[in-house]
Structure 1
Amino acid sequence: MSTTIFKVVKSHSAPATAARAKDWRDVALCRSHPDPEMWFPKGTDAVSMANEQEAKRICAGCPALAACRNWAIETREDSGVWGGLSERDRYNLRRRARSRSTDPAVRVLTFPSVKDAYEALAKKDGRHVLWTGGNEVKVGKARLTPNQVAWQATRRRTPVGRIFTDCETDGCVRHLNDQVIRQAREATRRAAA
């Protein structure tokens, strides 16, 4: 993160590099680009889409492309362009990978209600609630992800936008956020800067 005397400036520049061995982040082209915000388009307007395409073009020639892309997918990075993939691209990759599963043990379980699905497949484990089912369940005619089931079963409002986990514990469906929570956090960060 770059700082000036007057304010903190957000920087895309691959994850922090202090106090670690040299790796792909040291050769990433985004580290030296004059407009780091290009990697974080703020919407779907023409300017944001042009910035996303330009960031992807720069990524295409980056020597850290593969390592950056793998890092973003493995850590489930939920914003910005990383390794030439936007957040939509990474989401669609994960979705396609789930739908191509050929494991016969992977089946979609059907439940009469979201509460029933949550009670059957979510198990409390200390501070976390771990999902023990597959990547998808069927409630009535709707197919839902574990995050959607957990959100609907434990919250009193409909989520806005996609639901992401805030937790680094694999399978945790307790620590979730939606667009409302993410926007509130961003507003708090801006106010603190």
Structure 2
Amino acid sequence: MNSRNWRGSEACRTEDPELFFPKGTDAASMDGADAAVRICRRCPAMEACAEWAIDTRQDHGVWGGLTEQDRAALRRHGRIPQKRTPIQAFASIQDAYGALAQKDGRHVIWTGGNEVRIGSVRMTPNQVAWRARRRTPPVGRVFTDCDRDGCVRHLNDQAMRQARDAARTTTAERSAAQRRTA
């Protein structure tokens, strides 16, 4: 969206303006500011609005998902928020995995972003890789067991971690029993 023509498409235009201009720093005001930021995050004009607020040095209110404190910190440190990259969308898990996972020796490296959309569901690279390779949903969160950045081949879920922990406990108990009998 062009930074010049963002007005009129903002999500806040149908909301109570008081929400975007908290009157203090008490808990109720901060809850209002948090609610305003959540509205901003779903707004197509968020980036342009934030840019405008920073450029025009708006000192009060929530603009483009940034509170007064956020904008002051950005100005103080000379940082401007980076543009969001759109989430890549795919028709199936296999399509996403095929397009964004590249085999590299013993590893499979994820070349896409931190999130993809499969239909209307957002998924992490680990979730996509797990389901693409195993064709079953994971139990709990999926983590990598690999030190290689971006590797989505060496994954484990909660069930695998519990089984591994149980095996370690059993091995440790056997070792302790052997030491006692020796």
Query: TM-score, normalization: structure 1?
Result: 0.46
Q: Would you tell me which structure has more helix in proportion to its own residues?
A: 2
**Higher Cα radius of gyration:** 2
Name the TM-score, length of structure 2 as normaliser.
0.49
